[in-house]
Structure 1
Amino acid sequence: MKRNVGSIDKLARIVIGALLIGLALTGIIGAWGWIGVLPLATGLFNFCPAYRLLGINTCRLRK
């Protein structure tokens, strides 16, 4: 898997994913909050399958 998630994108995914999971655990938003596992995982692994399909890459180019 080649990285395709940049640093700002990674941070946003981790924060949003953790927030959704936290809200699901406390019962504020119900079971739909578990969808936060997806952005959390893509942020931690620096890879998003949807980005690959769409040809998007938010990582900086290495020289």
Structure 2
Amino acid sequence: MKFNIGTIDRILRLVLGLILIVLAASDTIGWWGWLGLVAVATALFRFCPLYAVLGIHTCPLNSRD
């Protein structure tokens, strides 16, 4: 799998995803806060399927497997 998420993008996804998960777990926001799991997963795998479809890559090393 080729990486398409760069370092800054990865950090932002991880932080915002974790914030959403914590807010959802504490019932501060609704069920949609659990969508933060998607952001965390894409940050961990460094691959975003939507970026692949749209041809976007923020990773300078996108040719690595």
Q: With the length of structure 2 as denominator, give the TM-score of the two structures.
A: 0.90
Paired letter, 2:40: L
Q: RMSD between aligned alpha carbons?
A: 1.2
Paired letter, 2:13: R
Which residue does 1:22 correspond to in 2? 22
Count how many residue pairs are aligned between Structure 1 and Structure 2.
62
Mapping for residues 1-63 of structure 1, pairs under 5 Å: 1-61=1-61
Aligned mates of 2:61, 2:32 — CA distance in 1: 35
Runs of 4+ with >4 A deviation: none
Structure 2: gaps (5+ residues):
none
Structure 1: gaps (5+ residues):
none
Write out per-residue CA displacement over residues 3-31 of structure 1, whole angstroms, 9 at most, x where no aligned residue.
00000000000001000000001110021
Report percent identity of matched pairs.
53
Q: With the length of structure 1 as denominator, give the TM-score of the two structures.
A: 0.92
Asked if 1 retains the 8 angstrom alpha-carbon contact of 2:3 and 2:61, the reply is no
Aligned mates of 2:61, 2:19 — CA distance in 1: 30
